[in-house]
Every structure is written in structure tokens, then in C-alpha cells.
């Protein structure tokens, strides 16, 4: 982008202190903080454009830096397992898997296939943690003491390698024993780990096959899905979570999708055009090497995540507030469709990712760093998109840490916040304006129940049902009320999609 004066640089977050006038008044400040990716001099990794929302914004925490500088190099083959163990440790401390991957030094030091292996090992261990714990538990006389959490993690990654990955059993066992011996606190358990890992390598595959899909789902989540979708629906969702998500790319309007499909297709990884215009392929490790990345022709966005913005219809030339916008998937969509977008998020760190994504895509938006509930612009909006913070249970395929780091109390607190955000978003609309409220959650409390309660609290709004035409003809994604409801168990033959809910409201004229 060419050098412009401060007031002409829309892609700069403004702090709330710079907000005396309307949202489009320029005056962009917020210093010259560079986006994190640019600071580190490396492209964002796969999935970073449209990652799952998080109830707790751990992006603002300082990087973990506790790795011992003086550590002796580990034997070949052990580094990647050691990195996976450290990643799990950070997730247990409350970090998201994505943050843990970004901030675990032993992982950062890995390259190529070792890096891919460590990532896959940590992800698969979390994805099937319930099953792995069940099988390991069968070999323990009593649960391991809390202070031996690392022993349990070594057993988990031993089991994950034997049961879920193609690691030869002897390698899964011997590297786990080596990991145990690497530290005094776990060395005393080396023979126990050796014995259990061997048994699991031998008998575990048959045991794993017998475990029901719900074993990998915390019971509060399972109960919610059963209430909402019935026992078979809950089972189908849990089964879908065992599969990894595809790589979905959203394109700017007017791009020639047939040409992009041909350019993106690789041997063994055919790209395909989905009904809504998403191009889908199998996940690859280096997205930045794909054609079109540097030109910003596309951005990563799950098919389901691309649908709520479509419910705003033709936004060209309209004033649209994208509330809770980071990392910016929907801001990019709206800006690419010609809207004058005000992109608001309360996290400055996450807004930097919006800047990165806008810059790469050569699109512009006005950025506001603010809490939604405190946002009081002078000028109201033609349309508002509210992608509220939620439990993100619709994105478990991509973020297998979610079941273990979210609880029912988080759900209750988020549901209360979502109601307040909806009411505030309505107050930001011009008469006749449109609000789309959405969440990437499977929990009814955050979706269907919010829509119902919002209509009851606000007689000035009415629901405008979604149409199949707006969703690329995919009418199965519309529920009985006319709202968008996607589940990971839908479009199974095509690779599934994230779980999303979206409702469209119109404010009376």
C-alpha cells in the first residue's frame, strides 16, 4: 500500500481514546505497531486467518520463554516428541493449541517433517484424549497423582503414536521411555511407561475400535448436543470431530474460480469448488506457498464461516459494522464486497491480525479497538455483523483443545454476554437496518436460544429468514425458523464444515 497520511490510513487500529468522533473520521493512531507476523518476518501459518474465536483472549499474554537455554540436544527422533509434550503442557495450563504451537520454543526449533509430526502428535492426542485416557486408565491400578501430569502425557503420546499415527510400535515405546528418562521427575516411572506403552501397542487397537464416539466429548457438551440434535445427531457430531477439517479458501468476488481451482490443484490434492464459491482442498503445511497467497486473491475461511456475511445481502457502498472482527475473515469478505467496513474488536493484538490480512488482500477497513458494549459511534450503520465470542464448539475439528479447556460455566457467562451484545448491536442500526448475529458454536444456548430471547426482548426487530439462494442453494443448512444452522456432521461426503449458527434481524423503519 502506498504511503498515506495518518488520517488516510484506514487499516490502522484506533484505540478507544482516539474515538471522540464517528467511526469513519480518520484520525487513526495506535502507533506504528507492526502486525506480529511481519515482526517475526515469517508468513502466518495455516489456519491463522480464520481461527476459532476464544472466550479468553490469550493472544495478549507475553510469549512463553521458559525453555532452558542450556538444554543438551536430544537424540534424533526425540525432539519432535519432546516438542509435542511441551505443547500439551501449555494447553493444560490453559493456552489454546494454536497459541501453544506459536509459543513453544522446542516446536519453533523444528523444521520440515519433524515439525509436522510434532504438530500432528499434539493435535491427535488432544482430539482423542478421552479415548486415550480410557485405554491408559485400564492399565493403571489407581489414577496417577496430579504432580505426575507429565507421566500421563508421555503415556498419551505413546498411545497416540501406536493407535492413531503410523509410528512403528517399538519407536513409540522406546521414545516414550527416553522422554521419561530425560527428567528426574518422570525417570522413576520409566519402567511403568515401558510396560503400559507395550501393552497398548499390542492390545490398544482393538480396544480403541470398541469405544463409542462420545468418549472424546466432555459430558456437559454431549448433553447439550443430545438435547439439541438427539442421540444420533450428537453421535454424528462426535464422529465428525474425529476427522480433520479441510483447507477452505474464500475468494474476492469477480475472481475466476475455475481458473483458481486449476491453479491450486496439486497431485493428490485436487481443489474443488463448493456450492457457495469456497475452494476446498486437503490441508497442507505451507499455505503461503500456494498460488494467489502473495497477491491476496484469497484468504483461509471455513465454508460455514463464510455464510453469515452473505446474509447481509448486497453491502456495496453501505456502512457496515463488523463487531468482534478479529482475525478478520468476515471483514475481508465485506470489504471485498464493496462495503465501507468498520471492523471492531476489543483485542489490539488480534486486530493486528486483521491489519495483516487486509494488507495482504489489498483491502481496507476502519479499525476500532473497543469493547462492543462501549462502542457509541456518531453515525449508525446500515448493517451490523456480530460474530460474538462463544465456546467455539463448532470448530473442534480445527481446535481439538476446545473440549478440554472450556466448561459449562464458560457457556453460561458467554450466553449472558451474547444477549447484551445483541441488544447493543441493535442500538447501532439505522431504522430499517439489518443485524446478523452469529456464533461458531453447537450449543443452543448461544444460537437458537439467543435468537428467540432477542426477539422477545426487542419488539422493534423481526426475523428475516435465510434463503437457500443466498447460501449457494444449500437449503439443508437452514433450520425450521429460517436461521443458518451448520453442523460438522453435514456435507460429510464433501468433507464436512464447521458448526455455525446465524440469524438475521431487521430493525423496523
Ligand X SMILES: C[S@@+](CC[C@H](N)C(=O)[O-])C[C@H]1O[C@@H](n2cnc3c(N)ncnc32)[C@H](O)[C@@H]1O
As annotated, the active-site residues are 440
CB of 57 to ligand X, least distance (A): 5
What's the distance, CA 467 to chain centroid?
26
49 is in an annotated binding site: no
371 binds ligand X (CB under 6 A): yes
Asked whether residue 326 is marked as a ligand-binding residue, the answer is yes
Cell of residue 348, nine digits: 489490539
330 binds ligand X (CB under 6 A): yes
Write down the least CB distance from residue 292 to ligand X, Å: 19
User: CA triplet 283, 311, 353: central angle to 5 degrees?
Assistant: 45
Q: How far is the CB of 390 from ligand X (least distance, A)?
A: 6
Confirm if 213 and 235 have CB atoms less than 8 A apart.
yes
Measured from the CB atom, the residue of 14 and 330 that comes closer to ligand X is 330
Binding characters for ligand X, 287-326, by CB under 6 A (x = yes): -------------------------------------xxx
Do residues 340 and 317 touch, judged by C-beta distance below 8 A? yes
Q: Is 106 in the site for ligand X (CB under 6 A)?
A: no
CA angle 35, 406, 348 (to 5 degrees): 20
389 binds ligand X (CB under 6 A): yes
Residue 483 is labelled as binding a ligand? no
Exposed e or buried b per residue across 288-305, where buried means at least 16 C-beta atoms within 10 angstroms of its C-beta = eebebbeebbbbbbbbbb
The stretch among 87-95, 194-202, 253-261, 340-348 that binds ligand X (CB under 6 A) is 340-348
According to DSSP H, which parts of 138-218 are helical?
A: 149-164, 169-181, 184-187, 190-210
371 annotated to bind ligand? yes
In which residue are the cell numbers 428467540 written?
A: 452
Question: Which is nearer to ligand X, 130 or 447 (by Cβ)?
Answer: 447
Q: Known binder of ligand: residue 313?
A: no
Distance CA 353, CA 252 (A): 19
Cα angle 342, 347, 353 (rounded to 5 degrees) comes to 70
* Complex with ligand X: residue 389 or 400, whichever CB lies closer: 389
* Residue whose beta carbon is closest to ligand X: 53
Residues of span 442-461 touching ligand X by CB under 6 A: none
73 marked as binding residue: no
Asked if 264 and 250 count as a contact pair (C-beta separation under 8 A), the reply is no
CA torsion, ordered 326, 299, 254, 309, to nearest 10 deg: -30
Contact range with ligand X by CB under 6 A, out of 130-138, 227-235, 248-256, 346-354: 346-354
Cell numbers placing 235: 453421535
Query: How long, in residues, is the chain?
Result: 509
Q: Which is nearer to ligand X, 37 or 182 (CB)?
A: 37
Any binding-site annotation on 329?
yes
Cross-strand partners of 387? 438
| 327 appears as a binding residue in the annotation | yes
Q: Determine if 248 is a binding residue for ligand X (CB under 6 A).
A: no
CA 394 distance to own-chain centroid? 9
387 touches ligand X by CB under 6 A: yes
Site string for ligand X, 47-86 (x = CB under 6 A): ---x--x---x-----------------------------
Stretch of 159-167, 191-199, 339-347, 492-500 contacting ligand X, by CB under 6 A:
339-347
Q: Is 350 in the site for ligand X (CB under 6 A)?
A: yes
Smallest gap from residue 182 Cβ to ligand X (A): 37
Contact 410, 360 (CB under 8 A): no
Distance linking the first and last C-alpha atoms of the chain: 40
- The CB-side HSE value for 234 (13 A sphere, CA atoms) comes to 20
Residues that bind ligand X (CB under 6 A): 50, 53, 57, 324-330, 345-347, 350, 371-373, 387, 389
Known binding residues for S-adenosyl-L-methionine are 324-330, 345, 371, 387
Amino acid at each position: 500500500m502506498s504511503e498515506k497520511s495518518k488520517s488516510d490510513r484506514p487499516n490502522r487500529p484506533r484505540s478507544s481514546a482516539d474515538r471522540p468522533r464517528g467511526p469513519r473520521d480518520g484520525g487513526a493512531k495506535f502507533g506504528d505497531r507492526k502486525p506480529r507476523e511481519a515482526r517475526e518476518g515469517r508468513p502466518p501459518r495455516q489456519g491463522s486467518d480464520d481461527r476459532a474465536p476464544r472466550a479468553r483472549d490469550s493472544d495478549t499474554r507475553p510469549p512463553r520463554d521458559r525453555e532452558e537455554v542450556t538444554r543438551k540436544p536430544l537424540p534424533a527422533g526425540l525432539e519432535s516428541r519432546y516438542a509435542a509434550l511441551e505443547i500439551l503442557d501449555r494447553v493444560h495450563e490453559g493456552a489454546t493449541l494454536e497459541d501453544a504451537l506459536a509459543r513453544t520454543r522446542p516446536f519453533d526449533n523444528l523444521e520440515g517433517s519433524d515439525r509436522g509430526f510434532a504438530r500432528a502428535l499434539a493435535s491427535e492426542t488432544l482430539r482423542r484424549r478421552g479415548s486415550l485416557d480410557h485405554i491408559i486408565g485400564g492399565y493403571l491400578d489407581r489414577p496417577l497423582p496430579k504432580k505426575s501430569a507429565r507421566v500421563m502425557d508421555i503415556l498419551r503420546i505413546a498411545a497416540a503414536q501406536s493407535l492413531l499415527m503410523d509410528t512403528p510400535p517399538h519407536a513409540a515405546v522406546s521414545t516414550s521411555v527416553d522422554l521419561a528418562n530425560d527428567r528426574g521427575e518422570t525417570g522413576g516411572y520409566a519402567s511403568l511407561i515401558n510396560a503400559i506403552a507395550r501393552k497398548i501397542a499390542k492390545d490398544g487397537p482393538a480396544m480403541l475400535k470398541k469405544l463409542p464416539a462420545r468418549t472424546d466429548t466432555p459430558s456437559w457438551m454431549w448433553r447439550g448436543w443430545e438435547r439439541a440434535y438427539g442421540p444420533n445427531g450428537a453421535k454424528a457430531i462426535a464422529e465428525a470431530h474425529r476427522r480433520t477439517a479441510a483447507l477452505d479458501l474464500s475468494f474476492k468476488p469477480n475472481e475466476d474460480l475455475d481458473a483458481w481451482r486449476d491453479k491450486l490443484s496439486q497431485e493428490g490434492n485436487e481443489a474443488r469448488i463448493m456450492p457457495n464459491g469456497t475452494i476446498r482442498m486437503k490441508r497442507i503445511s505451507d499455505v503461503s506457498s500456494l498460488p494467489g497467497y502473495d497477491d491476496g486473491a484469497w484468504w483461509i475461511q471455513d465454508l460455514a464461516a463464510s455464510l453469515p456475511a452473505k446474509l447481509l445481502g448486497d453491502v456495496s457502498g453501505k456502512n457496515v459494522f463488523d463487531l468482534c472482527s478479529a482475525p478478520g475473515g468476515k471483514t475481508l469478505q465485506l470489504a471485498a464486497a464493496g462495503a465501507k467496513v468498520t471492523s471492531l474488536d476489543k483485542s489490539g493484538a488480534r486486530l493486528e491480525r486483521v491489519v495483516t490480512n487486509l494488507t495482504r488482500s489489498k483491502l481496507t477497513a476502519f479499525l476500532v479497538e473497543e469493547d462492543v458494549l462501549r462502542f457509541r459511534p456518531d453515525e449508525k450503520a446500515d448493517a451490523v455483523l456480530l460474530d460474538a465470542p462463544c465456546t467455539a464448539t463448532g470448530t473442534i475439528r480445527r481446535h481439538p483443545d476446545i473440549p478440554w479447556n472450556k466448561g459449562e460455566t464458560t457457556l453460561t457467562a458467554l450466553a449472558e454476554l451474547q444477549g447484551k451484545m445483541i441488544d447493543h448491536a441493535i442500538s447501532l442500526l439505522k431504522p430499517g437496518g439489518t443485524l446478523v448475529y452469529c456464533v461458531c458454536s453447537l450449543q443452543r444456548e448461544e444460537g437458537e436460544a439467543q435468537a428467540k430471547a432477542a426477539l422477545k426482548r426487542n419488539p422493534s426487530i423481526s426475523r428475516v429468514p435465510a434463503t437457500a439462494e443466498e447460501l449457494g442453494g444449500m437449503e439443508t443448512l437452514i433450520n425450521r425458523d429460517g436461521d443458518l444452522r451448520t453442523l460438522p456432521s453435514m456435507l460429510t461426503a464433501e468433507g464436512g464444515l464447521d458448526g455455525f449458527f446465524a440469524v438475521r434481524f431487521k430493525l423496523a423503519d
